[in-house]
Chain A
Amino acid sequence: MSELLQQAPSLGNTLWFILAAVVLLVILLGFVTYAIYFERKVIGWMQLRIGPNRVGPLGLLQTVADVTKLLIKEDTRPKNADRALFTLAPILAYAPAFGVLAVMPFTESIQFADLGIGLLYYIALSGITVLGVITAGWASNNKYSLIGGLRSAAQMISYEVPLVMSVVGVVLLTGSMNLREIVEAQRDLWNIIPQFLGFAVFIIAAQAELNRTPFDLPEAESELVSGYHVEYSGFRFAMFMLAEYVYMFGMATLITVLFLGGWLPIIPALDFIPGIVWFVLKFSAYVFLQFWLRATMPRMRADTLMSFAWKVLLPVALVNILLTAVIVSYQQGMF
């Protein structure tokens, strides 16, 4: 990929880029299929159940069957819904979740776009997902959807502030927003150690951004049926689920790159193991953490949700920025 990036833009190269993006899309769909399978399986084991085990050997085809069912299911649209926005919402939710992957470096050689502002691109684009959610909630003209959509929007924008602020510490240490340079700067020490506060804020805020336990209020099935996508059925509904898991893929990649040293080995002596193996290991550890949290944590109360973001996470993120700035000046010998 990196040689192609250096060459003059041409139609042939563009076709290669398209092919590479399609390959990533296929890998992504595979990831989503088996992330859902393992989520159900792991939670099953943690709760002393077996989990899906009927469709295919060990239940491996369970998600495939579920998706096929959604694909051949009738697509109903309520008469009172806003037609245009109802159609637009799944696209708005899905497109940015996939678009953010364009800047992700997976290893030294496996990378798509190498933007100087990679991190900013991720943050800007991932903000659009909120629009998809609130559009879906509003367009359905359903009371559950509206409450779910608004709750979700309020939660996502509230947690986005500490999320983007916790990353400023990493940018301070690296002096760059290019994700590849951020990984390279972690050769001696992964950012999780000097940026521990930032990491803690990021990982909590990421849960809320992903609408996952303990912040899954927008989908609180016990009170809101299923939140903003009550009225969605068939493949439109599948798009929301897909967006959620693609976003999880993006977030796992971002955490690996920002805090866990990307494709770098845990100690330099283990350099002979290819970078992609290290990347997948760290990535899977984060994805597993998601499943683990879902099996253990209860849902947060709606009235404590907002104040937690503004009264705890935001001040901690600000303190982290100032502390990091002081430490960086000290290292630079400014005092």
Chain B
Amino acid sequence: MDIYTNNYVIVAIFLILGVLLPVATVSIVGPLLRPKKPTAEKQTTYESGNIPVGDSWVRFNVKYYIFALMFVIFDVETLFLYPWAVAYKELGLFALVEMAIFITLLVVGLIYAWRKKVLEWN
């Protein structure tokens, strides 16, 4: 139990340090060292030296959503694969057959996406 608590104390320390370093350098040490003379020109959005045209918060290619969906499906699949892999040696042949069926089902999904040409980028 002690080792468990200690482990997560360390994890918490790492995460806090990870947040602290950027915050400390950018917001606490930085302002003491760097100049701050904002002008309107400096604060315009960069667009190769031209005056920016329109807004950039626009609708973008739907392809990105499809890849995000594919990612969710296969990443969740991987989450199921991990516990199976850890316990595999104890579970025996039944686990192998089950997982083969599970992977086959997902491969069918992948083939479907492949045939529907959503994996192409054009």
**A and B physically associate:** yes
A98-B17, A306-B67 known; A168+B30 contact, CB < 8 A: no
Residue A78, interface by CB 8 Å: yes
A98/B34 in contact, CB under 8 A: no
| Distance A95 CA – B14 CA, assembled complex (angstroms) | 8
* CA of A80 to CA of B33, assembled, Å: 25
Q: Knowing A141-B55, A142-B47, A235-B25, say if A98 contacts B82 (CB, 8 Å).
A: no
Q: How many residues of B contact A (CB 8 A)?
A: 73
A291-322 vs B, CB cutoff 8 Å, 1 = contact: the mask equals 00000000000111111001100110010011
Chain B: which residue is nearest A162 at the CB level?
A: B74
The answer to whether A171 touches B107 (Cβ under 8 A) is no
8 Å CB interface, A90-108 against B: 90-91, 94-99, 101-103
Contacts of A143 in B (CB 8 A): 47, 56
* Cβ of A329 under 8 Å from chain B: yes
**B11–A113 touching, CB < 8 Å:** yes
**CB-nearest residue of chain B relative to A137?**
B56
Tally A-B pairs: CB < 8 A. 235
Within 8 A of A (CB), among B77-122: 78, 81-82, 85-89, 92-93, 96, 99-100, 103, 107, 110, 113-114, 119-122
Candidates A13, A80, A302; contact of B121 at CB < 8 Å = A302
A17 CB–B CB distance under 8 Å: yes
- The interface centre, meaning the residue of A8, A9, A114, A307 with most chain B CB atoms within 10 A of its CB, is A9
Which residue of A7, A120, A307, A328 contacts B89 across the interface (Cβ within 8 Å)? A328
- Using A225-B46, A318-B103 as known contacts, say yes or no to A176 and B86 having CB atoms under 8 A apart: yes
The answer on a CB contact under 8 Å between B71 and A158 is: yes
The answer, yes or no, to whether B10 is at the interface (CB within 8 Å) is yes
Q: A98-B17, A334-B92 are in contact. Are A76 and B25 (CB under 8 A)?
A: no
Q: Which A37-86 residues have C-beta < 8 A from chain B?
A: 71-81
CB of A244 closer than 8 Å to a CB of B: no
CB-based contact B96/A325 at 8 Å = yes
Which of the residues B7, B37, B70 comes within 8 Å of A114, measured between beta carbons?
A: B7
Task: State whether B60 touches A78 (Cβ < 8 A).
Answer: no
Q: A157 to B70: give the CA distance in the assembly, Å.
A: 9
User: Complex Cα distance A329/B18, Å?
Assistant: 42
Could you list 25 examples of A-B contacts with CB < 8 Å? A5-B2, A5-B6, A9-B9, A17-B6, A18-B17, A25-B21, A72-B33, A98-B18, A112-B10, A119-B82, A141-B57, A143-B47, A150-B64, A154-B64, A158-B70, A160-B75, A165-B74, A165-B81, A175-B85, A175-B89, A235-B26, A302-B121, A306-B121, A310-B114, A315-B110
Measured CB to CB, the nearest residue on chain A to B74 is: A161
Contact B103 A321 (CB under 8 A): yes
Interface residues of B (CB under 8 A from A): 2-3, 5-11, 13-15, 17-19, 21-23, 25-26, 29-30, 33-38, 40, 42-48, 52, 55-58, 60-61, 63-64, 67-68, 70-71, 74-75, 78, 81-82, 85-89, 92-93, 96, 99-100, 103, 107, 110, 113-114, 119-122
* Complexed CA–CA distance, A72 and B37 (Å): 13
If A95-B18, A304-B121 are given as contacts, then 4 extra A-B residue pairs at C-beta distance below 8 Å, sorted by A number, are A5-B3, A98-B21, A239-B22, A239-B25
The reply to whether B86 and A91 contact each other, CB–CB distance below 8 Å, is no
Let me know if A222 is at the binding interface, CB within 8 A.
Answer: no
CA of A117 to CA of B19, assembled, Å: 23
Q: Does A263 contact B (CB under 8 A)?
A: no
